[in-house]
Structure 1
Amino acid sequence: MGEWVKSSCNSPVPHNAFVAGRDVDGSRIYVGRAAFQGDVLPAKVIPNNRVAYVSHNGSEHRVQYYDVLVGQEYEWVVCGDGLVPANAISPGTTSTLERLYVGRVRHNNSLTIGKVQPSRGCILIPYCHREHSFNSYEVLVKKQRPKLWKSQSY
């Protein structure tokens, strides 16, 4: 679910990229995904830093090649404890095929993204060289179109 555009740290931000938050310096954070050690992980894309970040095995890792989520038909839903809505955006899986989801939290004056990993019951964000976990978070979902129904005449 979602449309992804290939990108890299040397490329401009794709047209219509989805803005997910702001870093501590006010830089925009975009939703990305990146392959890393057999996983496909949500990536925190910060063009001003010329890098994207993923969290893996307790650490923050930099990646140079990634995909960026484009489109504006997304919204955030408050969740927690590993729960995700049915229409949540899943950029990939772990090497053991566990589905991961895009989430975000407020941390140290930033609104930043990470991976919601249901088996761990939390969101894990890459921040200052470490992986940080939070039980409460927002999950990125595809906006639902209103269901149309025909009114019955009485």
Structure 2
Amino acid sequence: MVPCCSGSSCPSPVRLGTGRGFHQQQFGIVAAARHNGGLIPGVVMPGSTSCLIPWGGQAVAKMDYFVLSNQGGVDLVWQRASNGEVPRGALQGGYSETGEKLYIGRVNHGRTVLSGKVQPSHRVCYIPYNGQEVHHSSYEVLCLKTVPLANLGL
């Protein structure tokens, strides 16, 4: 994660539109922000100057946030999951205010692809949408597929 604020440009952001025929220009980027002692996965939408995170029933806008950057070119893949499951290789995107690991999830909601937090103990993926925290029991989780040998110093 790379620190960003107020819509500043960040290197090699991970876009939500990757995989299954999506066009990258139309979709937001994976992000996270600190809130109430946690680091909560969310989304920065195109043209926005804030990160939206799902928390406490609301979509909370944060001006200071982190963007997931893939400068090393690792192979990331979105894998289907449901009911709080996280596949092997799932990327931890943050942690709750109680320290529970949160994973990066995405769903298609209202004809928009949004990222948010998969919270295993709640058995759902929460996303920020239209001012609210919306939950889905079926979602996709961002997972590490491969790491180039050069990244391992080999």
Fold match, TM over 0.5? yes
Q: TM-score, normalised by structure 2?
A: 0.84
The answer to whether the 8 Å contact 2:30/2:43 transfers is yes
Structure 1 counterpart of 2:80: 78
Q: Deviations over 1:41-93 (max 9, x none)?
A: 00211240211100111111000011111114211000000000131111211
The answer to whether the 8 Å contact 1:27/1:46 transfers is no
Structure 2 counterpart of 1:106: 108
Structure whose CA Rg is larger: 1
Identity of aligned residues (%): 32
1:45 and 1:112 mapped to 2: Cα distance? 9
Unaligned runs of 5+ in 2: 19-24, 149-154
1:27 and 1:106 mapped to 2: Cα distance? 13
Cα deviation, residue 144, structure 1: 3.2
Cα deviation, residue 5, structure 1: 1.0
Q: TM-score, normalised by structure 1?
A: 0.84
Paired residue type of 2:13 = A
1:78 and 1:120 mapped to 2: Cα distance? 17
More strand by share: 1
Instruction: Report the aligned-residue RMSD.
Output: 1.8
Find runs of 4+ consecutive structure 1 residues off by over 2 angstroms: none
SS in 2 for 1:119: helix
Please show how residues 1-154 of structure 1 align to structure 2 within 5 Å.
Answer: 4-12=1-9, 14-21=10-17, 27-71=26-70, 72=73, 73-144=75-146
Q: How many residues align?
A: 139
